[in-house]
Amino acid sequence: MAGERIQKVLARGGVGSRREIERWIEEGRLKLNGVEAKLGDRLQPGDHLQLNGRVVHWDKFSLSATRVLIYHKPTGEVVTRRDPEGRPVIFTQLPKLQNGRWIAVGRLDINTSGLLIVTNNGELANRLMHPSTQVDREYAVRILGTVEDAVLTRLRQGVELEDGSARFDDIQFRGGEGANKWYHVVVSEGRNRLVRRLWESQAVTVSRLMRVRYGMLTLPDGLKAHSFYELNQKELDILLESVGLDKEKPLAPGKARF
């Protein structure tokens, strides 16, 4: 039978993970041509799909080569498609896609800069963000003042935050002059403002925060703010395999863009 399974198409478009979409099908939340969809259903050209009564324009998620960008987000930009306050958004800085849309892998708050991964492959994005993957995130943190060893020990062992216990998997002192000191810290979960909240729990002031690594991907040296680097085919294959996805036949070569 031609066509692709509903869960595969919607996951690629970033609607949800395959498992989530399979659960929605089992719960009767998806209708295909007016009839409740079944797990084995495949989408054909012209099919009408609804999720919770709303039309899903699934044809936008047609099969295309996976692309992954490392974007250097500056402070002051927000990770959203439209901002009601009129603040600059990261998606206006990215190249246009003929099919599909860019999906951000996690978020950085407006005051945090550095590495942000964006991709047109929703399944890849979901796997990189899923708590079960426990992908390391490394941040460069500028601290105002001196941090006592006892504070660092507590942050490594774990402290209680309003949404549960959390800790740094690693803390490395990276030098500094005067009142400012630099540390590199690693966390393996993506809770909102987690790095700032951990430091603040110890009455430590963070004056600058920058993400420099997400899993195996690092912020390239010399990549300026507002610019991005596109993974080449070899880099993309390694990333796909790292989250259990098949390598793709190259439809277009990866390029570096600055």
List active site positions: 109
Sequential DSSP letters for 16-62: S-HHHHHHHHHTT-EEETTEE--TT-EE-TT--EEETTEE--GGGG-
Q: Which region holds residue 28: left if phi is over 0, alpha if psi is between -120 and 50, else beta?
A: left
Q: Which long-range contacts (CB under 8 A, 24 or more apart) does 29-34 make?
A: 30/6, 32/6
Nearest CA to 67 out of 255, 211, 219, 212 is that of 255
Q: Please say whether the beta carbons of 127 and 151 come within 8 A.
A: no
Q: Which residue has the tokens 């390029």?
A: 255
The secondary element (H helix, E strand) that includes residue 89 is none
